Amino acid sequence: MIPLLLAAGIGGVEGDAPGPGVLETIWGISVVRGLAWSLVAALLVITPMALFAIWLERRLSGKMQARIGPNRVGPEGLLQTLADGVKLLGKESLVPTQADRPLFHAAPAVVFMSAFAMYAVLPWGPDWAPTSLAVGLLFVLAIGSLEAIGVIMAGWASNNKWALLGTMRVAAQVVAYEIPLGISALVPVLTAGTMNVQEITAMQGGGAWNWGLWWAFPANLVAFVLFFWAALANLKRAPFDLPEAESELVAGFHTEYSGMSFSIFFLAEYAAMFVLSGVASCLWLGGWNTGIPGVDVAGMGVWGNLLGAAMVAGKAMLLVAVMMWLRWTLPRLRVDQVMRLCWKFFLPISLACLVWAAAWVSVVKPMLGGNG
């Protein structure tokens, strides 16, 4: 069944589909394709990326703390995460007696689903985009907000004081970071005139000076930095890791999770780190464009797409590595500091960026002759 779907997705079956009507045929093909692509993506792209990110985190943490980190399983310890995953599969998944069972089991699924669904709009190359949604960027923000709901579900269902405290912190953090995250993502949308991530990426061809970072200078540069910080808060990474805060809350919202259900939270966190970094790189860092004038990925066929995919993965991994670097550099903020930072600094600055970008598009760009 699965290979069948794969073949349908890659080979295409337009020719021999005796569909009753145009809509039915298109629908059939797109659903079969969509299923096939999501299987390919989940098996071949997202899981290895997340496993690699976990390995990278452990090795980088080791380097930053002047120790070695996992280096025994496979070359340079690359298979360590896989081995840990197998170990976790064999562990019992405990459920506390007083826990809310249906919600307790549903929570990791919701978190996992939201992290993986965001990959649907991440373009990998000029011709390799899972979907070309017109509302792509909004889709990322919408599906990303589902993740917080899953986390709240987990903390509430655990019936544990640490978990509940973590949950309340998540809920407070969500309302604080979500607005600057959305507004800073609107800045490139405004300057590009589309919400389609693939189209925004395609506008950044040529040299690195054409990247979204420099559009409506300095609005997009500031928006990129804000988006990155708000994304850190979204991912509950240091310095915004209050919901898990190991030194205060044991493990926060996932204190009661063990075995495979814990590792699903873990995998989803790294998958989300990668995809948010990937989206940021497509909005501001050229996505699959190389940034070298003359090396145009779009005209190189399959090899261009492969190069593009490597560019997206490389840029996203670079941002992921910066997130890891920040984790060992900055101390954790207090709850009130997070609120103040998001509401009193990120929000006004992101609004100012939006206003400047609007002024750029409506006033400055026409004056400069439409080349901005």
Partner 1 sequence: MAELLGKLTAAMGTYGPAVLFYGVAGLVLASAAYAVVAKKIDHSAFSLMACFTGVAALYAMLGSDFLAVTQVIVYVGGIMILIVFGVLLTDRLPVEYRQISRETVVQGLAVAVPVMAALVWAAAGTSWPVVAEAAAAAAPPAAGGTDPGTTAAIGKLLLTDYLFPFEFASVLLLVALVGAARMARGGAK
Binding site for partner 1 (CB under 8 A): 4, 7-8, 12-14, 16-20, 22-29, 31-32, 100, 102-103, 106, 127, 129, 132-135, 138-139, 141-143, 145-146, 148-149, 152-153, 156-157, 164, 167-168, 171, 174-175, 178, 182, 195-196, 198-199
**Of the two residues 69 and 205, which places its CB atom closer to partner 1 in the complex?**
205
Q: Please state, in angstroms and rounded to a whole number, the distance separating the CA atoms of residues 264 and 194.
A: 34
Q: Is 291 helix (H, G, I), strand (E, B) or coil?
A: strand
What are the distances in angstroms from CA 30 to CA 36, 37, 287? 10, 10, 25
Residues contacting 272, CB < 8 A, separation 6+:
114, 115, 118, 144, 147, 234, 235
What is the smallest separation between the CB atom of 312 and partner 1, expressed in angstroms?
17
**170 vs 236: CA distance, rounded Å:** 8
Minimal distance, residue 59 CB to partner 1, in Å: 35
The residue (of 50 and 153) whose beta carbon lies closer to partner 1 is 153
Q: Check: CB of residue 137 under 8 Å from CB of residue 185.
A: yes
**CB of 284 vs partner 1, minimal distance in Å:** 21
The residue among 55 and 257 lying less far from partner 1, judged by its C-beta, is 257
Q: Which helix (H) or strand (E) holds 348?
A: helix 347-359
- Minimum Å gap between C-beta 348 and partner 1 is 16
Nearer to partner 1, 40 or 133 (CB): 133
- Pick between residue 56 and residue 151 the one whose CB is nearest to partner 1: 151
Q: Closest approach of Cβ 113 to partner 1, in Å?
A: 10
Question: Least distance (Å) from partner 1 to the CB of residue 12?
Answer: 7
* CB distance 110 to 265 below 8 Å: no
Beta bridge partners of residue 207, listed in sequence order: 291
Q: Tell whether omega for the bond before 126 is within 30 degrees of 0, i.e. cis.
A: no
Which residue number, 49 or 186, has a Cβ lying nearer to partner 1? 186
